[in-house]
Amino acid sequence: MKIAYVKICNYRNLKDIDIGLSDTVAVIGENNSGKSNFLKAITLPFLTDDNTHTSKRLSWTDINNESKERYYKKIIEIQKEIKDDKITVEQFIKLLPIVSVEVNIQANGPEEYYVKDMSYAIADDKIQYGLKYEFIPKNCEDIFRVVKEVVSQNEINEENLRKVKMNLLPVEYYNYSIKIPDGRNISYDTLKTFKYEALEAERDDFSRTKNQLGSKALVDLLKEGLSDQDKLIIEKEYSHFFESLKEISDINDIINWQEISEMEEAKKFFSHINILPNMPPMQSILNSVRLGYAEEELSMQGLGYRNLVLLFVLINSLLGKKTDTALNVLTIEEPEAHLCINNVRLMVSFLKAFTNKNKKIQLFYSTHSTEFINKMNLKNVVVLHNGKAYSFVDELDEEDFAYLAKNPNLDLFKLFFSNKCILFEGISEELLIRSYLDSQEKLSDIEVLSFHKGFEKIMNIWKKINEGSCNKLGIIRDYDNQPNAKEQHNKYNDDKEICVRTTEYYTLEPEIVNTGNNFKLLKKKYGDVFGWSNMTLEELTEAWKNAKASDMFTICKDLAVGELEGFQMPKHIQEVIDFLS
């Protein structure tokens, strides 16, 4: 069972999202792109009194800012009509912003038992199951009354709006609801079989806090794993501990005044005073357990080890719960936090094994680490940018996935989120471009990535993700005697967001030699070194092409340290660099 689709409307910076999801979901994006909001939104349809410690009601700040601004703008426009009773409550209700999160749940075989009461439609000959969370106006008349009072006291304009914003949208008259998407109610007994666990990024002090979050999870884990026989063993060991205590703590050494008492019955009376075992509840015994690493307390370890052990224990605690659960949604923010590369790989391996072991758990995690992006299963990836979401399972076909998986230099973070990025083909271009950028301090913010063909697919995804941003993408490609391919790529060239340039010649070497005074410069500096002294332009070009790996490295090394004064970059490369700078 899994969440196959999600629709999010007006939740924080997530204005309008409608995407498909894979079995595991890896959420990537820049800082402040909406990753945490997305993970939080996913859990809203599963809120019950049993599985949440937070309010099921949202606040004014949880409502999308754009939807609020649109609402306020409309209130300013019609405030006179509201004041003069020319607007009805029914008309006013349509203006109020509503927050909603709808999940489509895919179930197969026996799993359909849990969702039998959650069907709401048929699509593609399949029954659709789902849940919908809404934060909606409950007492519309009261909201309308409050708004009318506000606009009647003062005329609202752009300047004084900020003083009355919350009164114009009083969310205390809102309420939440969790229903089937077609509006029918869902029983508590059905809803409680759907769980969620959220591990947020702010977990650095977990082993130092009073609640000892990690130890609490360990206690839960121990309780789940204890059989009746195990509890019997613990009780016997406690009795053994007590007998040892009794032997070394003679009651006569503690209460010994009877020996000097004048009362004849004193010795007999006190001989019956004894130490008896007081077996505490199993919970109390387990509460004395603390998490540690090796022989030290966990609080003495670094942040990396503390986070690693915490996640291991919390997730295993979740896995160990033997409850009647249909689906358990697990969200983790930045599982790589504070981890070195070896521990990152350890965490990746653990999460993979964890999800493979328990098919009732669907994992959602946000990450800034390429280690958590499985190139063999890019269908897991959801990209967040400025509150918009793009799911690879929606945007790419099988051919696209195969292309990206085979690309040796795939770094989705650099590709999609760099302010300035150049894509190119081949080792020669990489050596030349990197060397030139290294020699120019003002160009140090340009990211350089090597891709082997397939630029069109990359540009399609890049444009969707970076729509409305100030990011720029430069494409440098070989001509390869393919005029149709050149024309096709040039369609993406707008010189605003994307700049595409193609070599005039078949490969890069003749481009360099035929640019400016490069032929004379190269012949003079490297004539004796490479045997170019008596060569013509064509001969030098051909010789360079046949030995370009070694020769290009030497030339680029000199270029990077400023020893090729007067060297000019080929026109197609220089134009891309100028576009980005």
Q: What is the pLDDT of residues 289-320, one digit of tens each?
A: 777 777 787 778 888 888 888 888 888 877 65
| Pairwise CA distance, residues 471 & 415, whole Å | 11
Does 537 have pLDDT greater than 80? yes
Tell me which of 108-112, 201-205, 210-214, 538-542 is least confident.
210-214
Q: What is the mean pLDDT of residues 231-244?
A: 78
| Pairwise CA distance, residues 551 & 545, whole Å | 9
Q: CA–CA distance from 146 to each of 135, 150, 153, 333 (Å)?
A: 19, 6, 11, 39
Q: What is the pLDDT of residues 124-165, one digit of tens each?
A: 999 999 999 999 999 999 999 999 999 999 999 999 999 999
Tell me which of 313-322, 479-488, 511-520 is least confident.
313-322
Q: What is the pLDDT of residues 414-450, one digit of tens each?
A: 999 999 999 998 888 899 999 999 999 899 999 999 8
Strand-pair partners of 364: 25, 331
Cβ atoms < 10 Å from Cβ of 560: 16
437-475 core/surface letters (b: 16 or more CB in 10 A; e: else): bbbeeeeeebbbbbbeeebebbbebbeebbeeeebbbbb
Q: What's the chain's length in residues?
A: 581
Q: Which tokens belong to 575?
A: 């134009």
133 and 176 Cβ atoms separated by less than 8 Å: yes
- pLDDT computed for residue 307 by the predictor: 83
- Taken in order 352, 353, 354, 355, the sign of the CA dihedral is positive
* pTM for this model (two decimals): 0.84
Tell me which of 459-463, 481-485, 494-498, 545-549 is least confident.
545-549
Q: What is the pLDDT of residues 86-100, one digit of tens each?
A: 999 999 999 999 999
CA dihedral 277, 280, 286, 288 (to 10 degrees): -70
Confidence tier at 451 by pLDDT (50, 70, 90): confident
Share of the chain above pLDDT 90, in %: 59
Separation of CA 400 from chain center: 22
Q: 3-state secondary structure string, 108-174? A: CHHHHHHHCCCEEEEECCEEEEEEEEEEEECCHHHHHHHHHHHHHHCCCCCCCHHHCHHHHCCHHHE
Q: What is the mean pLDDT of residues 397-412?
A: 82
Separation of CA 192 from chain center: 26
Separation of CA 116 from chain center: 31
Look up tokens 């509006």; give the residue: 183
Q: Which tokens belong to 435?
A: 């060397």
pLDDT averaged over every residue in the chain: 87
User: Which residues neighbour 151 within 8 Å (Cβ) at sequence distance 6 or greater?
Assistant: 75, 79, 82, 83
Separation of CA 280 from chain center: 43
Tell me how far apart the terminal alpha carbons of the chain are, to the nearest angstrom: 49
User: Hey, is 8 helix, strand or coil?
Assistant: strand
Tell me which of 211-220, 326-335, 540-549 is least confident.
211-220
- pLDDT computed for residue 210 by the predictor: 44
Tell me which of 244-253, 323-332, 404-413, 510-519 is least confident.
244-253
Give the residue with greater pLDDT, 156 vs 225: 156
Q: What is the pLDDT of residues 174-197, one digit of tens each?
A: 999 999 999 999 999 999 999 998
User: Which residues neighbour 438 within 8 Å (Cβ) at sequence distance 6 or greater?
Assistant: 560
- pLDDT computed for residue 568 by the predictor: 96
> Pairing mode, if any, of strands 99-106 and 388-391?
unpaired
